[in-house]
Amino acid sequence: MSVVTDATARSEDKLRVTRSRRNVAWTGAGAIVLIVVLGAFPYYVRSGTLAIMVQGLIVLTLASMWNLLAGYAGLVSVGQQAFFGLGAYFLLIPAMHGVSPFAALPIAAVGAGVAALPLWWLLSRLRTGYFAIATWVLASAIMLFIERFQSIGGGTGMPLPGLTGYDPAVLTAYTYWAALAVAVLAIAAVYFLLRGRLGLVLTAIRDDEQAARSSGVKVGLARLLVFVVAAVGCGAAGGILAIDQLQVVPGTSGGVFSVLWTAEMAFAVIIGGIGTIEGPIVGTIVYMVLQQTLQSYNAWYLIILGLVAIAVTLFARRGLWGLLDERFSIRLFPVGYYLWAPGETRRRRRSGTGSADTPAKADVSR
């Protein structure tokens, strides 16, 4: 969405640096149009379709957050269901005290973010693989802890109060708008965070953590920020799920603390393209299509998604969006920079120059 200022500058003799090879003002305008069109969906789309879209938007929000964690900060968490579940409960508790569930959404998001702080303190001692399992253990421990409280449903769950007065169609529309708002905010937050200082810091860490550290980059702080932002996003998504299902059910199979939530977000990111903002969007679409076509075959969609994700990780690690980007050099959300060779203009595409949007080319291997 950055307007390239020097589009007309004569540049035969000097190097130029812009955000993107292409002019992104159009994608900015396109994004706004898309949001308006999506926002108008409740007026001309059936409720059943809207309900599916709500699921898709939840997965999209989660995937964007997981992408920020794993794709940009190298933090492979398999315990994001902890924040997803906490978000649902942080929505349920105010709702039980008379707050409208929609108004409680910010509480759910902030609550999950605050909970992330002490958890980070524990997790920051572990790296990569052990970090991954530790997040899982923590998610399990948090679930067991929450199930201790009978007043919020214990181990069996609780219906969400405060939404009984709504007409079902109106409620579906409100839920959809809330889900859309959360997803748009999540993607926008990731985009603007990565465009700013944090994006630069994360790139520096990814390229050489030691060098970054010795140049004064606060590595721990950057990771903490990413972890908290991801928790906020997952918490908001959990709140949406509570509103969508009109109940909060804990438990590892089918409940808000199921690891399947993390599996879904991770697979969507990997298939779409890890380390790009567009990847989770593409991945979520693939995920929803697969889920809807295979839903009558029980667990098969997760088996297929898992196999596809493994194959993509091994053989096309930049995912579907990476394949598109290699071919056409498109960036809807440029967070890095493009280095123009002397004399290169927008019309003449030189082979071999490639794109220099470095943060977006996150290397999974690092």
Partner 1 sequence: MAWVNAIIQGILTGGLYALFACGLSLMFGVMKVVNLAHGDLATVAGYIGIGIIAATHMPFLWSVPIVVLAMAVVGYVLQRTLIQAALRRGELTTLIVTFGLSMVIENGLLQFFSANNRGLGVGDNIVTASFSIGSQIQVAWLDVIIFVLAIVVLLGLQYYMSSTKYGRLIRAVADDREAAQLCGADYRHVFGVAAAIAFGTVALAGMAYGMTTVISPTTGTDTILLFAFAAVVIGGLGSLWGTLIGGIILGVAQQIGAQLNISYELLAGYIVFLAVLVIRPQGLTTRRSQS
What is the binding site for partner 1 (CB under 8 A)? Answer: 70, 74, 76, 78, 122, 125-126, 128-130, 132-134, 136-138, 140-141, 144-145, 147-148, 252-253, 259-260, 263, 266-267, 270, 298-300, 302-303, 305-307, 309-310, 313-314, 317, 363-366
Provide the minimum distance between the beta carbon of 258 and partner 1 in the complex, in angstroms, as a whole number: 9
Nearest to 41 by CA among 166, 167, 165, 175: 175
What tokens appear for 277 in the block? Answer: 């903002």
Q: Given the complex with partner 1, which of 184 and 320 has the nearer CB atom?
A: 320
Question: By the 8 A CB rule, do 294 and 287 touch?
Answer: no
Provide the minimum distance between the beta carbon of 69 and partner 1 in the complex, in angstroms, as a whole number: 11
Give the C-alpha separation, 146 to 205, whole Å: 36
Give the C-alpha separation, 110 to 29, whole Å: 30
Number of residues assigned to the chain: 366
Provide the minimum distance between the beta carbon of 257 and partner 1 in the complex, in angstroms, as a whole number: 11
Q: Given the complex with partner 1, which of 202 and 309 has the nearer CB atom?
A: 309
Provide the minimum distance between the beta carbon of 270 and partner 1 in the complex, in angstroms, as a whole number: 6
Q: Given the complex with partner 1, which of 99 and 294 has the nearer CB atom?
A: 294
Q: Given the complex with partner 1, which of 144 and 289 has the nearer CB atom?
A: 144
Nearest to 37 by CA among 180, 134, 158: 180
CA-CA-CA-CA dihedral for 44, 48, 52, 54, to nearest 10:
60
Give the C-alpha separation, 251 to 354, whole Å: 47
Cross-strand bridge partners of residue 338 = 18
Give the C-alpha separation, 21 to 354, whole Å: 9
Provide the minimum distance between the beta carbon of 224 and partner 1 in the complex, in angstroms, as a whole number: 17
Residue 294: phi and psi, rounded to 5, are -105, 10
Question: By the 8 A CB rule, do 268 and 261 touch?
Answer: no
CA-CA-CA-CA dihedral for 209, 212, 214, 216, to nearest 10:
-140
Provide the minimum distance between the beta carbon of 290 and partner 1 in the complex, in angstroms, as a whole number: 13
Q: 94 — alpha (psi -120 to 50), left (phi > 0) or beta?
A: alpha
Provide the minimum distance between the beta carbon of 297 and partner 1 in the complex, in angstroms, as a whole number: 8
CA angle, corner 194, sides to 209 and 29, nearest 5? 160
Q: Given the complex with partner 1, which of 199 and 255 has the nearer CB atom?
A: 255
Provide the minimum distance between the beta carbon of 288 and partner 1 in the complex, in angstroms, as a whole number: 18
Q: Given the complex with partner 1, which of 136 and 333 has the nearer CB atom?
A: 136
Q: Given the complex with partner 1, which of 193 and 305 has the nearer CB atom?
A: 305
Q: Given the complex with partner 1, which of 346 and 366 has the nearer CB atom?
A: 366
Question: By the 8 A CB rule, do 248 and 40 touch?
Answer: no
Provide the minimum distance between the beta carbon of 155 and partner 1 in the complex, in angstroms, as a whole number: 8
Question: By the 8 A CB rule, do 332 and 278 touch?
Answer: yes
Q: Given the complex with partner 1, which of 321 and 338 has the nearer CB atom?
A: 321
